[in-house]
Every structure is written in C-alpha cells, then in structure tokens.
Amino acid sequence: MSVRVSAEANFDFTEITQETKRELSKEVVRSATNIDRNAKRKVNVDHGRLRSSIHVKYRDPPEPVDAEVIVGADYGKFLEFGTGPRGRDSDLNAMAEQARQEMGYQYGPAGKLPPIDVFLDWGRRKRLDPAVTMAIWFTIGMHGMRAKPFLFPAASEEREAFFSRVNQALDRIK
C-alpha cells in the first residue's frame, strides 16, 4: 500500500530547466517526508512493526520529482481500510476510498476468523487473560474491525500544501 507524490503530471520534463527540476524536487521531498512523518504519528502502535515499515522511496535521484510513501507491513491495509462489516461501515476520505477500490481491496464476509496465534501473542504482550483475548479474536472475526486510517489522511492533509508550494516555487522561477 502506498501514496505517490509527484510533480510529473503537470509538466513536460524534457523542456524544463535544471533549476525548475531542483525546485520541484525540493517540494516532492518535503511533501513525501511530511506524509511519512504524519502517517507514523497517526498509526496505532502495538510493538512498532507497522510504524517502522512506513518509508519513502524516491525515484530519479538525486533530484526526484516523484516519490512514494510505502507501508511495508502487509497488515497495514487492514488498519487503513478496516475489515468485515465494521470496516465496510467505516468513514474513509475520498483519497482512501479511491485507493481501496484501485487496490481491489474487499472487506470480506463476517465470520472469517483471523489467525489465532497472532492474537494470542498480542494478548500475552498486553497481559490479557487468555479468555479475554479469545473473546476479542472471536468478535473481530464475526464483526470485523473499523478502519483506523493513517496513511491517506496524512496524504490528504499534505495535498493542498504541496500544490501551493509547487505553484509558489514556479512563480519564483519565472
């Protein structure tokens, strides 16, 4: 799961100056870094694996005009979009909903139980009674889990600032 930050869509890069490319690159790096940082702040943390899997991949170094903020942990999409009926009822912003559809992410039916070993490990870390852990496991399996978005809200918050800074940079160059 990822979010792309790019200045490519609006320009023919064969006809721009190196100075323009440098300015655009600064803004891409700045926005990708902001999305990365804010997604890490927003994500629910148990033992940090999901948060530490969020990173930025730059294309075209040393002056990237395209970057991708990537969530490396495979279960990130379950937190971002939710699961089962509760996930389906979650309020996602427009960017997250579009990404969910493009990924082909399906919420799945109620009654699909997640792997028990993952929950038992989680319950031990939280020092929960095994009976409580099993009840939580069963409830999530039967009803799903509401979305707890972190990546797409961070990207949405940065979007307007990115376009504004790109326009300001282009105005300075002209």
40-98 tens-digit pLDDT = 999 988 778 899 999 999 877 666 678 899 999 888 888 899 888 888 888 898 888 88
Q: What percent of the chain has pLDDT over 70?
A: 89
Structure tokens at 81: 């979009």
- Is residue 105 predicted with pLDDT exceeding 80? yes
The enclosing H or E element of 92 equals none
Find out whether the peptide bond into 109 is cis, omega within 30 degrees of 0.
no
pLDDT tops 70 at residue 146: yes
Q: Which helix (H) or strand (E) holds 67?
A: strand 66-71
Nearest to 22, CA basis, from 64, 83, 75:
64
Confidence tier at 112 by pLDDT (50, 70, 90) = confident
**Cα–Cα distances in angstroms (integers) from residue 130 to residues 2, 9, 45, 70, in the given order:** 35, 53, 21, 34
Contact 80, 147 (CB under 8 A): yes
> Is pLDDT above 90 for 171?
no
**What percent of the chain clears pLDDT 90, i.e. is strictly above it?**
28
Whole-number pLDDT of residue 109: 67
Tokens of 136: 């939580």
Tell me, what's the pLDDT at 35?
94
Task: Say whether pLDDT at 130 is over 70.
Answer: yes
Q: Is 82 left (phi over 0), alpha (psi -120 to 50) or beta?
A: left
- Banded model confidence at residue 174, pLDDT cuts 50, 70, 90: low
* Mean pLDDT score across all residues of the chain: 84
Residue of 48 and 157 predicted with greater confidence? 157
Rounded to a whole number of angstroms, the distance between the first and last alpha carbons of the chain is: 37
Classify residue 25 as exposed, middle or buried by CB count within 10 Å of its CB (0-12, 13-18, 19+): buried
